[in-house]
Structure 1
Amino acid sequence: MRRVSAVPILALAITCATAGAPAAAKDVIVHMRNQGAAGVMVFEPAFVKVMPGDTVRFLPTDPSHNAETIPTMLPAGVTTSKGQINKEFALTVSTPGLYGIECRPHYAMGMVALIQVGNGPSANLAAARAAKLPPFAARRMAPLLAMAK
């Protein structure tokens, strides 16, 4: 009688069990800061790339901030979302495209961020580039849009 090693059979069983499993959704942390590498009133990082099903968590590292979506910078069919001042805001994204984010109290000071969902090309890139933002917010958003696809 011939003995069969259990190691190859176990490895095959593990491979088969995990091969069709979907990738686990991930959480990405963005800090809301009074001062950061890009200056005052910033999200760090200001640009994140995630996949559908992932969650972006905006943490109020410093006081007096919130995070909310910019209505003119969302994929078609996505409704606006708004976090409260000094509270974590969790945005779980399901639709591919670009999501503009602002801190309402500091929007005019340029406190904006951009989330790219999916690998692109983003269907709403042209609309996001055409969105009217306050001057300083527009200056900060321009390089973020340049990173997006």
Structure 2
Amino acid sequence: MLRGVMFAAAAFAALTASAYAAEIEVKMLNQGAEGRMVFEPSFIKANPGDTIKFVATDPSHNAETVPGFLPEGAKEFKGEFSQDVSVTVEKEGVYGVKCLPHMGMGMVALIAVGSNYPNLEAAKGLKFTGVAKKKFEALLKKAEESKSAALAQ
């Protein structure tokens, strides 16, 4: 009987958590408010269990993780070109995202999950070039500010 009660409680908790999970839409654009070849928004604040939906608003883009730019234990993803891709983020931390053919033009994004980013310092040590380097530096600064604000509460 105790096992049945524990199972029911666990099932209820899982259903309740998923009921509060959000779906966050990110557009893949040739031209946006932040310039050419962009994810909009490029800084995505999410909670564990939220789903990020990358929408192929304009053709010839994809969304995929940057190798080595994930929290430990998080799953990599790679969307197809000109196709929407949805990703559910489970692990707290920062996730680097790129459009494979347009990364050199700065088409990158950062997903900051939760309020504690255990891989933030490691992400700051990753090496990028050109526009992607500048964009990731700015996005990591936003993540750091977000973490500081959460700790201050």
| TM-score normalised according to structure 2 size | 0.80
Flag the structure with higher helix content.
Answer: 2
What secondary structure does 1:62 align onto? coil
Partner residue of 1:50 out of 46, 51, 55: 46
Q: Deviations over 1:1-31 (max 9, x none)?
A: xxxxxxxxxxxxxxxxxxxx44521100000
Partner residue of 1:27 out of 23, 47, 62: 23
Work out the CA distance in 1 between the residues paired with 2:43 and 2:132: 14
On the 8 A contact 1:70/1:102 being kept in 2, the answer is: yes
Partner residue of 2:126 out of 108, 128, 131: 131
On the 8 A contact 1:110/1:140 being kept in 2, the answer is: yes
Report the counterpart of residue 141 of structure 2 in structure 1.
146
Report the counterpart of residue 103 of structure 1 in structure 2.
99
Work out the CA distance in 1 between the residues paired with 2:103 and 2:127: 12
Tell which structure's C-alpha radius of gyration is larger. Answer: 1
C-alpha RMSD of the superposition: 1.6
What secondary structure does 1:116 align onto? strand
Q: Give runs of ≥4 in structure 1 deviating > 6 Å.
A: none
Work out the CA distance in 2 between the residues paired with 1:32 and 1:141: 17
In the TM superposition, what are the counterparts of 1:3-18 in structure 2 within 5 Å?
A: none
The question of 1:113 aligning with 2:109 is answered yes
Report the counterpart of residue 81 of structure 1 in structure 2.
77
Deviation at 1:141, TM superposition (A): 1.2
Partner residue of 1:92 out of 79, 88, 94: 88
Deviation at 1:76, TM superposition (A): 0.9
On the 8 A contact 1:107/1:134 being kept in 2, the answer is: no
Work out the CA distance in 1 between the residues paired with 2:129 and 2:57: 24
Work out the CA distance in 1 between the residues paired with 2:84 and 2:129: 25
1:119 is matched by which residue type in structure 2? S
Partner residue of 1:64 out of 60, 76, 81: 60
Equivalent pairs counted in the alignment come to 130
Q: Deviations over 1:89-123 (max 9, x none)?
A: 11100000000000001011110000000012x11
| TM-score normalised according to structure 1 size | 0.82
- Unpaired segments of 5 or more residues in structure 1? 1-20
